[in-house]
Structure 1
Amino acid sequence: MRYSFRQLEVFLAAAHTQNITKAAAALAMSQSAASSALKELEAQFDIQLFDRVGKRLQLNELGRLFRPQVEALLAQARELEQALAKHTEAGALKVGATLTIGNYLAVGVMAEYMKTQSHARVSLEVANTRTIAERVSDFELDIGLIEGELQSPELDVIPWRGDELVVFCHPQHPLAGAEQLSDEQLRQATWIMREPGSGTRQTFERGMHGLLPDLEILLELEHTEAIKRAVEANLGIGCLSRVCLADAFRRGSLVPLAVPEHRRFDRQFYFILHKQKYRSAGIDRWMELCRQL
C-alpha cells in the first residue's frame, strides 16, 4: 500500500483547518511531521491536493474529489479498530440537529444511545437547517436531524417523522377567544417569528402564502424559548412546533389558535447524511432509536 492512514488523517485535518500547523495540533503531531506526511502523500502519486496561498491550504478540484472517499475509508478503519479492541460496537458520533429537534427530542435519543452503547459518546450541535446541512456536507457532522425541506446533490434526505406547527398566543391576548382566525386577523396580528433559514420559518411561510408581504413581524429570534417568552409577555403571537409548545399548553401559559383550514402547517422531520458517508453501526443505531421515539 503506497499510502498510510496517518497521511490520510493529515490530509483530512488540513482540508478542515486549511492550515498545516492547525492540522498538526489537531492530530497531536509536530508541524514538520504533518507537513512531511502531506508532501509524501502527494509525491507518491505525483498529484497536488491543495492550492497553497501563503500559509492557507485550499482544497483544489482533485482534493475535493478524493475527500469523501478518504472520509469513508477512515470511518471504516476506525470502526474496525473499535470492534477489534472490543470497546463498543458503535463509536463516537457527531450529530447536528435543528433547534426544535435538538432542544426537545435529540437529548432523549442521546441518553438512550449512551445507555445502550456503554462506551459510546455523542456530541450534539444545535443550529438552523441551513447550518446543519452545510456541516454535514463538509463532513464535520456524521448525521443531521432537520425540520426544513432541503435539496442538495451531495446529501441523502431521509424522512423520519411528521410534525405540525401551531399558531399560539398569551391567554389574555385579544385573539385568544377566537373560535377560528380569519386571514384578515392573521394579517393584522403582530408576530414573533423564527429567523429566515430555519425550517420552522420555511414551513410558516409556505402555510401563510399570499399573506406574507402584509404581515407585521415585530421580532425575529433564533431560539424557540425566546419566542415563547416573548409571546408569554404578550408582545405578539407566534408559530412553533407542537413538540416545543406541549408543556406551555398544559400549564396554560400559552394557548393555541385555530387558523383557517386552507392554512396548512404540517411538515416532516428528516435525517440527512452525505451520500459518500460510510454508514457506521453508530449511525444505524442512532437512526433506529430516533424512529422508536
Structure 2
Amino acid sequence: MNRSVTLRQIEVFVHVARGGNLTAAAVRLGLSQSAASMSLGELERLLGGPLFHRVGRGLCLNDRGRSLLPSAEAVLLAFRDFSDRAGGEGGLSGDLVVACSTTIANYLFPSCMKAFLEAHRGLSLSLDVGNTEEIAEEVRKGEADLGLVEGDCADQGLVTEKWLRDELLLCASPRHPLVTARSVPLSRLAGETWIFREEGAGTLSTLLKAFAEEDFFPDRILHIGHTEAIKRAVEAGLGVSCLSRFALSRELRSGDLALIDTPFRPHRWFCLIHRRGPRSAALTLLVDWLLDRRSLLT
C-alpha cells in the first residue's frame, strides 16, 4: 500500500462502505462533506482506481472495494486497540458504540452506562436503539461495538453470550377481576384483549413461541409499538399484556399495575453480541464488566 495513505482516508472509506452515503460518513466523522469527498478521492488516486460504483446519490462498493474492506476494518480495529492501550496506568481511553433492544435500552442499560462511565472516566459510550435484526447488522458491519439484544441472533459471524435471564409477567389493571384469583390458567384468558408489541419485537416473538407450546392463542389482539404505551393502555383497562419484569417494576411498586397469578411465566435471555475475532481492550473491559454485574441486576 502506498505510504501516503492516511488513517483518515481509511476511516472515510470504511464509513462510506458501511452506510453507502458520503454525507452520513462525513457527519459521523465530524468532517465537512467536501473534506470527506476529497479524502476518498485521494485514497482512490493513491490506490490506482475507484473503490465504489456511483449509483444515483449513493455509493456501492465495487469488487475491489469489497476485497479491501476487511483489511481496512482490521487497520481501524488495530488502531483503536492501540489507542485504548495507550491509556497506560491512568486507565483506558476510547469511544464505544453500544446498540440495545428497546426493553434493555429503556429499563436496564442507562443505569449500567452511568456506573461504567463513573468507574472508567477515560472511556465514552454512545447508545443506539433498535430491534435484534437491526442491532446484529450494526455489529456485523462494525457500526456498533457491542449489541445487547432480547431476541435470538443466528448470525454466524457474531459471538452470542447469555447475559440476564428475563421473565415475562402477565399484568392487568388493579381493578381487573382476575387480579385477586389464584393460579389462573391461560384458558381463562382466551376471551381477554391481549396487547402486544409490534411484529419483529423480541418480546412478541418470545410470547408467541410460548403460546404455541401451550396450544393457546387469544381471540382479540391489539398491537402497540411501544412498551410504555402498552402499560398505559393496560392501566386504563383496555386489556392485559405480558411484559418484561424489568419494564413492570416501577408500576408494580406504585400499584398502577398488578400481576395475574398464573403458572404461565415464559422466560428468555438478554444476550451480548459482538464480532468474532480480536476485541479491543476497551470492548473486552465493557463485556467483562457487564457479565460481572449480572448478580446486581437480577
Q: Give the structure-1-normalised TM-score.
A: 0.86
- AA paired with 1:59? L
SS in 1 for 2:179: coil
The answer to whether the Cα contact below 8 Å between 2:194 and 2:239 also exists between their aligned partners in 1 is yes
Give % identity.
39
Q: Distance in 1 between matches of 2:273 and 2:106?
A: 18
Structure 1 residue 233 displacement after superposition: 0.9
Q: 1:130 aligns with which of 114, 129, 133?
A: 133
How far apart in 1 are the matches of 2:95 and 2:32? 25
| Change in CA separation of 1:123 and 1:36 when aligned onto 2, cut-off 3 Å | closer
Aligned-partner SS, 1:222: coil
For the structure 1 residues 47 and 102, does the alpha-carbon distance in structure 2 shift closer, same or farther, using more than 3 Å as the test? same
DSSP-derived class of the 2:73 partner: helix
Written as runs of structure 1 = structure 2, the 5 A alignment for 1:243-262 is: 243-260=246-263
Aligned position for 1:216: 220
User: Which residues of 2 match residues 165-204 of structure 1 at below 5 A?
Assistant: 165-204=168-207
User: How big is each residue's C-alpha offset from its partner over 1:37-87, in whole Å with a ceiling of 9 and x where there is no partner?
Assistant: 434544555564322223421123543454344223213213423543657
Structure-1 residue corresponding to 2:40: 38
Secondary structure of the residue aligned to 2:60 is: strand
- 1:54 correspondence with 2:56: yes
Contact 1:109–1:286 (Cα < 8 Å) also in 2? no
Distance 2:35 2:175 in 1: 67
Q: CA 1:253/1:54 → structure 2, altered by over 3 Å: closer, same or farther?
A: closer
The verdict on how the C-alpha distance between 1:118 and 1:228 changes in structure 2, with shifts beyond 3 A counting, is same
Flag structure 2 segments of 5+ consecutive residues without an equivalent.
none
Cα distance, 1:11 vs. partner?
A: 0.5
- In the alignment of these two chains, the number of paired residues is 288
Shift of 1:174: 2.2
Cα shift at 1:100:
1.5
Q: Is the 8 A contact 1:169 1:254 kept in 2?
A: yes
Tell me: CA distance 1:174–1:32, structure 2 relative to 1, closer, same or farther (3 Å): closer
Contact 1:191/1:236 (<8 A) preserved: yes
Runs of 4+ in 1 over 6 A off after TM superposition: none
In 2: Cα distance, 1:66 partner to 1:92 partner:
24
Deviations 1:18-45 (A, max 9, x none): 3445545654556565445434544555
Q: 1:168·1:238 contact (CA, 8 Å) conserved in 2?
A: yes
Distance 1:266 1:62, change over 3 A: farther
Q: Is the 8 A contact 1:112 1:289 kept in 2?
A: no
Aligned to 1:286: 286
Aligned to 2:275: 274
Q: TM-score, normalised by structure 2?
A: 0.85
Counterpart CA distance in 1 for 2:130 and 2:31 is 32
Question: How large is the RMSD of aligned CA atoms in angstroms?
Answer: 2.6
C-alpha distance after superposition, 1:211-267 (max 9, x if no partner): 23x43112x22322221111111111011111121222222222212334xx45111
SS in 2 for 1:208: helix
3-state DSSP class of the match of 1:152? coil
1:139 CA displacement = 2.0
